[in-house]
Structure 1
Amino acid sequence: MIADVLSDATQRMSKTLEAAKDDFGTVRTGRANPQLFQKILVEYYGTPTPLAQLASLQNPEARTLLVTPYDKTALKEIEKALVNVPNLGANVGNDGEIVRVTLPELTEERRREFVKIVRSKGEEAKVSLRNIRRKAKDDLDALKSEVGDDDVARGEKELEAVTKTHVDAIDEALRRKEAELLEV
């Protein structure tokens, strides 16, 4: 029973860690990266659809990304969605076949803004981990009458170790992303 609670908490924490890493990937660095556009939704026949399902993304140059729609009728909607992306500051244009996204050179001030955004995303992920830990601890406390105080105490220590491991992994990913952002 304690193992089930710990296993569930570990799985949920791992998913939170992966989600945090994906979120970090959506913050742009000096290069154009197709991962920047993973979470962009395009209004396609009245339905918000992820950009990756509507078009192929390629980056032929360091700061240029080519978006080639599978359906040419979605070209205008894709362009509109890319123009409305917050915190991107990109130059978006289409030639009737593809959408070309050119990212401007990052200034020092802009890099610092992106570091703040990444730090807030990291803090949100840590809050999620703490919430998972709290729920697992409540579940362990509910088992006290069935398994005993010593087993629950051991389970709580293990839960703390798992939580610390995941928090450290988020901190490490955050450090790597900050270094990547501040690199000129």
Structure 2
Amino acid sequence: MKLAELKDHMQKSVEATQRSFNTIRTGRANASLLDRITVEYYGAETPLKSLATIGTPDASTIVIQPFDMGSIGTIEKAISLSDLGLTPNNDGKVIRLNIPPLTAERRKELVKVAGKLAEEGKVAIRNIRRDAVDEVRKQEKNSDISEDEARDLQEEIQKLTDQSTKRIDELLAAKEKDITTV
């Protein structure tokens, strides 16, 4: 495995962790909260963002305007059944989601969720590292590379791993700050 390829894999893990963080609710309205929501539309599970325009007119409201007004009821139902804990308000044309301020207890829970997501990202990076190191050891065993080259590659792999886990820690710190800010 080439180092550029390895770096790319690790970067993708960091980006996946970032996307996971975006789905965690903070005290402010954010359209990415609805990224995970799928709606049964004509018998197929369809992402909400494919069925409607999602906007945030102010810090505490998300407005969903369906392209097909016939789907407004199913969109409302999908949001109600989701784990967001938000109640949709349907006025016939748009669905409004009021984002209530988070309680201190809920903030603590969300910080734990963010920590868990960060750990999952780090585990993915460590798995990538393990596979790369195994590959280097295999090449060394087959005499494809020297012992010194193997050691240098392993050090480089560890540096990439450290950079990626540090980036996840930075993202986690920013998300925790975002969650705990009242």
TM-score range, shorter chain: over 0.9
> Which residue does 1:149 correspond to in 2?
147
Q: Does 1:111 align with 2:103?
A: no
Q: Distance in 2 between matches of 1:64 and 1:179?
A: 21
> Which residue does 1:63 correspond to in 2?
60
Q: Distance in 2 between matches of 1:7 and 1:141?
A: 18
> Which residue does 2:165 correspond to in 1?
167
Pairing 1:68-87 to 2, within 5 Å after superposition: 68-86=65-83
- The DSSP-based 3-state class of the residue aligned with 1:147 is coil
Q: Distance in 2 between matches of 1:54 and 1:84?
A: 17
Q: Which moved more, 1:100-109 or 1:119-128?
A: 100-109
* CA deviation map 1:58-96 (0-9, x unaligned): 11121111100111121111111111121x221212111
Q: Which moved more, 1:118-127 or 1:97-106?
A: 97-106
Does the CA-based 8 Å contact 2:79-2:87 persist in structure 1? no
Does the CA-based 8 Å contact 1:66-1:99 persist in structure 2? yes
Which residue identity lines up with residue 125 of structure 2 in the other structure?
A: L
Q: Distance in 1 between matches of 2:114 and 2:73?
A: 30
- The DSSP-based 3-state class of the residue aligned with 1:121 is helix
CA RMSD of aligned residues (A): 1.0
TM-score under structure 1 length normalisation: 0.94
Q: State the Cα distance separating 1:24 from its structure 2 match.
A: 0.6
TM-score under structure 2 length normalisation: 0.95
Pairing 1:106-145 to 2, within 5 Å after superposition: 106-144=102-140, 145=143
Identical columns (%): 39
Structure 1 stretches of 4+ moved >2 Å: none
> Which residue does 2:90 correspond to in 1?
94
> Which residue does 2:40 correspond to in 1?
43
Where does the alignment leave 5 or more consecutive residues of structure 1 unmatched? none
